[in-house]
Structure 1
Amino acid sequence: MKISEIWTNILDFLGQAWWVEVLTTQPKCTYYFGPFAEAGEATVAMSGYVEDLQAESAQGIKTQVKRFKPDRLTIEHEVE
């Protein structure tokens, strides 16, 4: 394991790592991708995650980079 991976794991454990949050309206889901040690790393990686979701026909995609620790990586929201 590289030093950078160890550092990222420490930040994640402490809830200080950066994550990409992706919200979609179709399907109605929240996805988290990460962890990242730096916000810039997460921002660079974000476009790849969006492209993958677009290839799967996801719609209404909104993204943000945030520092926290998600409980789950994928959350499916019930359709009303």
Structure 2
Amino acid sequence: MIGRLFKNLFGSNKAWWVEIKTQNPVCTYYFGPFSIAEEAELAKNGYIEDLEQEGASHIQTAVKHCQQPEQLTISAEESDAIGGIPSPAFSQS
């Protein structure tokens, strides 16, 4: 409660996001926003299961506190268009 009040008073635009990177297909996904890290951690497994059912493999995950990503999905084609491996699409604290 106090954290939310502080956030509202000082205008922080940061939230918790689940970042999932896959090698097959080469893609980066962002899921969120979540108000607390524990909520993002709990949701992470469901996203992994969905991606595995779609055939994704070599999955890496991270929970990050950051501003909303500019793109929620970055594919290999989009990555190549901007010059290589996707870089974080957000600013992290």
Q: Could you state the TM-score of these two structures normalised by the residue count of structure 2?
A: 0.68
What CA distance in whole angstroms lies between the structure 2 residues aligned with 1:15 and 1:24?
A: 27
Choose which of 43, 46, 49 in structure 1 pairs with 2:44: 46
Alignment partner, residue 4 of structure 1: none
Structure 2 regions of 5+ residues with no counterpart?
85-93
Q: Could you state the TM-score of these two structures normalised by the residue count of structure 1?
A: 0.79
Shift of residue 15, structure 1, vs aligned partner? 3.2
CA deviation digits over 1:14-65, x for unaligned, max 9?
A: 3310000000000000000000000000000000000000000101100000
Structure 1 regions of 5+ residues with no counterpart?
1-6
Alignment partner, residue 15 of structure 1: 13
Structure with bigger RCO (C-alpha 8 Å, 6+ apart): 1
Alignment partner, residue 59 of structure 1: 57
Alignment partner, residue 28 of structure 2: 30
Count of aligned residue pairs for this structure pair: 70
Is it true that 1:73 corresponds to 2:78 in the alignment?
A: no
SS at 1:15 equivalent:
coil
